[in-house]
Amino acid sequence: MIEQITLNNTESEDIKMPFEEAERMFNETIVDIDKIVKRPPYAITIGNNNRGYPQKLATLGNISMLMGAEKSRKSFVKSLLEAGTIGGSANYNNDTAIIGHLGDKLIISIDTEQGEYDVWQNANRVKKMVNAPIDNYRMVGWREKSILERNALLDYLFNESPHRHNLGLVILDGYVDFVHNSNDQKESNLFVGKLMKYSSQANCHIMGILHTNPKNPSSPDAYAKGRGALGTILQQKCEMVALVEQGENNEFSQILFLLHIFTSRRNFFVFSKIAHLHRFRNFMGDKKTLHQKKRKENDLAKLHSLTVIVHKKIVQNTPIFEYYIFSQNFQLK
């Protein structure tokens, strides 16, 4: 039987423990500076850097966050990352593709918001994008579970389940559904602390989705922040924070990396629900670089469900845009 856990218990300000236990715990945390510690392995990379090496997006043993306003297509970005991490047709272009480095490790996608049909539709979307047999992907729906049950199931997944030693990527859609009050700093700290512990002990990557603050014309910078105390703490602790925003007339969305060791605020992706590439040319203002794949526009126009990913890189202060066809048979909602 799964033991329920409570996150809103207050912790004593003064924590006391036996001397022997404190001494042991302190000694265990001492960093051996004579020992060489390897960089954390890649979980997901996205394209290559200027030296031709894979550019990391997420590493094992860390947590990250995708955030955005309602209906900004955060769930589609999640599917995009899941499919690219799995492989198949989703990452046939190695120059700009999202690539997973998990081997046979599992990808667990946890949805806490949508009903049965929409959860199935998201899972089926990933299947269509990959267009190949999938053995290491699991989608689960926890909408009907209580907050206590969700946390108990999460604890089971990382500590007791038969999958606990083979987890590669765990995605929570969304983070807020695991706390009672996202504005409670203590509860939010406890939950984020659990995420960091889970990712370390399972040597996996945990990625989650969170809404941003509502737009406020008098405070435009506040929009680029995760909602509540939970969002503030996650932005402090996450390896990577990405903002999904709607573009002009809701014809495209862009992913802007707000926090990443090897990326800057100028690096982003754009995906669109329209099939005509000239709209991208008008938006980017650069026609030549969008010809580098040498695809004819009249051929592209025949793909009525075209999904295009555009990658912007800054090389010697000059913007260079790369694009590739992610899925020819999938249409955004």
Q: What is the pLDDT of residues 269-288, one digit of tens each?
A: 545 443 333 333 333 333 34
d(CA 70, CA 211): 7
Range name among 158-162, 222-226, 312-316 with the lowest pLDDT average: 312-316
Type of residue at 312? K
| Distance of alpha carbon 201 from alpha carbon 311, whole angstroms | 34
pTM: 0.76
Q: Which single residue is written with the structure tokens 């990712």?
A: 199
Domains in the chain with CATH codes:
36-251 (3.40.50.300)
The predicted structure's pLDDT at residue 156? 97
Coil, helix or strand at residue 192? helix
pLDDT of residue 1: 43
| Cβ-contact 258, 221 below 8 angstroms | no
Q: Using 50, 70 and 90 to split pLDDT, how confident is the model at 219? A: low
pLDDT confidence band for 14 (50 / 70 / 90) = low
Q: Compute the 3-state secondary structure of the chain and give helix, strand, coil in percent, each to the nearest 5.
A: 35, 25, 40
The answer, yes or no, to whether residue 51 has pLDDT greater than 90, is no
Question: DSSP assignment, residue 212?
Answer: B
Alpha carbon 308 to its chain centroid, in Å, reads 19
